[in-house]
Each structure stands twice: as structure tokens, then as C-alpha cells.
Amino acid sequence: MSAAEKPKLPPTPMDRAPTPELGSAPIPKQRYISQDFMRREWEGMWTRTWLFAAFESDLAEAGDYTTFELGSESLLIVRQASGDIIARYNVCSHRGNRLREPGPGHASSFSCSYHGWRYGIDGGLEYAQDPESFPQGCPVEQLSLRPVRCERWGGFVFINLQPDAEPLRDYLGEIPEHLDPYHFEEMKILDDWTVEIDCNWKTSVDAFNEAYHIAGTHPDTLNINDDTDVPIDCYERHSRMWLKLALASPRHPDHGKLNEPIREHFLRSAGIDPETFTGGAEDVRPAIAKAVREIQGPALGADFSELGDAQLVDDFHYTLFPNLTFNLFGRSAWMFRHTPHPSDPDKMLFNFVNLVRAPSAEIPRPEPLRFRLEDDFEREPLGGGGKLLAQDFYNLPRIQRGMHSAGFSGLHLGEQELRIRHFHAVLDRYLDA
Amino acid sequence: MRLPPEVADLPSGSRQLVRVGALEVLVCNVAGEFFAFQNRCPHQDFSLEDARLRGHVIECSLHGGRFDVRDGCPTRAPTAERLVRYPVHVLDDRVEIEIPEPGSSP
């Protein structure tokens, strides 16, 4: 079916979800710092939830594979000749050797570097040396790479370590209805890097799950966003918040004014010449939505008509429980994946992916990069948001160290931080199950 | 040593196995630039004839080891050894490689 024949998707629902009653008790700090809680999370949650594992676009041809590193586990995600994508534990069934190093690649088969056992790209064992020497019977007929549940949505490949997990679609709930109009499957990857940070993975998730920190952590952005009116919607597992952009916060002297950053950044990037723009501050956001939908989209060969005005101008922040967060800007998106360290609750891996729909030029898929937090982030090629993230990353290890202090007992959360409370309530459902 | 004339027609992004006496040489064309090295992965001496070439990186099909063809350096385990490279010259539309005499220093 061509793009023109595709039925138009309804726009992202804007109706408000009921506010959950979650009380006001402190969130105990042990949830962020204890080995025991980390073990409970692994057994009760990480091994039972659907997790983003790979981009479908990275697995174009049969035999293309990538690994997904989760804690101490490693999985192979492999494109089949049939077009299917499968997941298998990245471990030889013979003596437990890892089959492939972390990262993407291409294989016609997976040979073990220990005794040379060879598996097909479907995970079936094809060759074992001296098979008659196994009194249990020929290994080729008995052993294979252990399968893992693997399903797809929106160009993303998800895995679930629980063999009888519910289908991905059921787990995602309202998310496809909300996010399909963004068309992730059409987006190109501009940046893809991972940094190890000295904090718990939830410390990192929390840092992006509320707008209450904007005035304290990113005060230099108050001239382009309204951090005082940020609707929050909590769903069964997932949640979102809506941060309005291209206007100045009531906390900022530019509030109600059409200032230089809004003219130069927001109007210009929508293809509107700020010199000839005659509207006032309140006209900027509708003008941007109209220009993107009617002029910029068609010029770049993208149909933005399925996105509402707010989706084309503002920052919709979605958290897909447990560890995938999006800042959605209509034409582009930042995707953060927060994964636990294999053994240390005070460390985590932060993966940043910068996605853009309908780029003006052909963009080769960048190699995934690995940074240390000590690297100079403002000079590194972080794509958009480098300075913002550097401000958040400055806080994260300090928060983690502070949580260990006898002077701190737990998180004291306000209404603007409701998504953090909701996140812990969802986590508890897994841990108590 | 001059390689067969068809090597010069190797399309960009592809590679060709050339036998020079008992020696197997893999020649790669990356965006018009030719690179040549001994056809064996330094991990277990496996042939790189089926290795995938992507940009400047060649990936051994046996265990996924990767090398930068520009300097032969490994970019991913399992090996920390380099590919054995041969200097390449293109003269009169023919590709030539320099193969050191046995026993000479590289």
C-alpha cells in the first residue's frame, strides 16, 4: 500500500487520565542503593517486562544481528531469511561460552570460539565436533540456543525473558495509539551513544520524569518553556507529561514576550523567517504547527498531518515502563534507555538516541559510541541537547552519593513529581506478584 | 607485484580474493581506495573471503572480530592482533601490491 492510500491515523489522544491516588509517603532510599532490592528487581521485574532491545532498521538483511546487554545477560537479536526477527540467549549450550561480543554484526552462522560448535542464524545447532562421543546422544538433535520472546512495534524490537509473558501489544496498552502518529519507523538515527553513570538506573529515570527540576537544573531554558503548567497522565504502567515550548515560563522576565531564542530557534527551524513574522508571542505556536504541517513536511516528503498542533511544537515526554523514555518533538525525538549495571546498584548505563523524521539529507547510520562521564560532553558530538544532558549528568552521581548519607532517608515528592510515585507503584506490582 | 587487471574494476564497497603463488590476498575497494591484506583473521587464521565489508570495517564471519582495513587494527574482540597488510599502489589502471620478501622486517 502506498503512503497516499494508507488510512490516516487518529491524532494522539489529548484527554486527561484520572489522577491516581498514591498517597504522600516517602519513597525509601533503599530502593536506589541496596543490593537486595537490585536482586528483587531482577527476579521480579527485569525478567518479566517487555524491554526495547534493537532497532528493526539495524537488522536489514538475513543474518544481520545485534546484541542486547541487560545486566549480566546478553541476547542475540537476529534477522531471519523469512523476515522474522528472533532473540536467543547469547550463550553456547555446550559449556556456556558467550558466542558474540556486544554490538551489531552480520553472521551466516554463530561459531563458538571454545570447541567450535556452530549454530545457524535460527539458533539451531548445526555442528558439534565428534557428536558420537556424547553418550546422551547427538547434540545436534538435542541442543540449540535458548529462545527468548521477541516482538515488534513501531520499528522497535522488544524482548521479554518470561516465556509466557503477555503479548507486547497488551503490555504497551495505550502507547501505540498515542505514538503511532509519530511514525518512529520512518525516523533516522542521528546519534547513538552510551555512557556509564555512577547512579542507580531509577535515579536516571526519575531525573527526566518531572518538570519540577527545570528551574533548578536548566534555568537557562526558562525563556523557551513553561515549567509551571505541565499536565501529567499516568496510565496502567506507562505515563506522560506535556511540556509546552516556544513560550517563556511565568518564572522568567520574558513571559508573554516574543523573545530572541523563540524567534531564532523555534520560528526559524520551522522554516518561518522571523524578520517577516508579524504575529505576537501567542501566535508563535500555531504558526509553527501550521508551517511544519503544510510547508516543511511536504517539502521533506513527510506527512505530519496525523500530529496535532501540540505534538508538532511541544515536548511530550513518555515513559514506557520500566526503562524507555522519549522526549517527542514531532519532527524529531530523543530516546533514552536506562539499564542497570550487572552487579552494582550505584551504576547504570544511559543510552541516548537522537532520531529525526524526514531529514533533509541522506544520513548514514552512526556507529554506537561509548563515553565516560568524565569526557567533556559539551564538546562531544551529542547532537541536540548536549548542554541540557550535561546539566542532568552533573547531578546524577551526586544524587546517588547523597542518597547513601545518614542525612537522607527517602524521596519527599510533590504533586509535580507524581510520575515518580506512579513508577514505584507499578514496580511494586511486579515485585509483589 | 601486479594483480590481475580485473582487480582494478572491483566495485567500491566490495572485495576479491587473489591468489599470489601460495599466498591468498584479500583486496578491498573502499570508496575508490584499495587496501590489501593476507586472507586470514589473526584470531584463528580463518579465511576472510566471506567477511562482510561495511565502510572501512571488515567483520570475520567466524566469531565476529572486526578490523579497520586502513591500518589493519582490530576494532572488536576476539583478537587484539592486526591484519597483515600489504602496501597498495595503482599504476596505469593496474593494482599493485608490495609483498615483503620472506624474512624481511615488515
pLDDT digits over A354-412, tens only? 999 988 788 889 888 888 777 665 545 455 577 888 899 999 999 999 999 999 999 99
Q: What is the mean pLDDT of residues A189-211?
A: 96
Cell numbers given for A66: 545485534
Please judge whether A103 and B76 are an interchain contact, meaning their C-beta atoms are less than 8 angstroms apart.
Answer: yes
Q: Which tens digit of pLDDT belongs to each residue from A267-302? A: 999 999 999 999 999 999 999 999 999 999 999 899
What is the spatial distance between Cα A346 and Cα A391, in angstroms, rounded to a whole number? 19
* A116 touching B (Cβ < 8 Å): no
Among partner residues B43, B64, B78, which is closest to A107 by beta-carbon distance? Answer: B64
How many angstroms separate the CA of residue A82 from the nearest CA in chain B? 21
Chain B's closest residue to A119, CA to CA, is: B62
8 Å CB contact of B76 and A111: no
Instruction: Report the share of chain A in percent with pLDDT over 90.
Output: 89
SS3 B54: strand
- Average per-residue pLDDT for chain A: 94
Q: Which amino acid is at A413?
A: L
pLDDT score for A384 = 59
Enumerate the residues of chain B whose CB falls inside 8 A of the CB of residue A106.
52, 59, 61
**Block residue for cell numbers 587494527:** B73
Question: Is B76 a residue whose pLDDT tops 80?
Answer: yes
Are B64 and A113 within 8 A, CB to CB?
Answer: no
Domains plus CATH for chain B? 7-97 (2.102.10.10)
Chain B residues touching chain A at CB-CB below 8 Å: 43-44, 50, 52, 59, 61-64, 66, 76-78
Residues in chain A with CB shorter than 8 Å from the CB of B80 are none
Predicted-complex ipTM score: 0.80
Answer positive or negative: Cα dihedral of A186, A384, A415, A325: positive
Contacts of B62 in chain A (CB under 8 A): 111
- Residue A106 in contact with partner chain B when CB distance is under 8 A: yes
Q: What are phi and psi of A301, to 5 degrees?
A: 80, 25
Confidence band (pLDDT; 50, 70, 90) for A1?
very low
CA distance A146 to A92: 9
Residue in chain B closest to A114 (alpha carbons) equals B63
**Predicted local distance difference test score (pLDDT) of residue A239:** 98
Whether residue A113 and residue B63 make contact (CB cut-off 8 A), yes or no, is yes
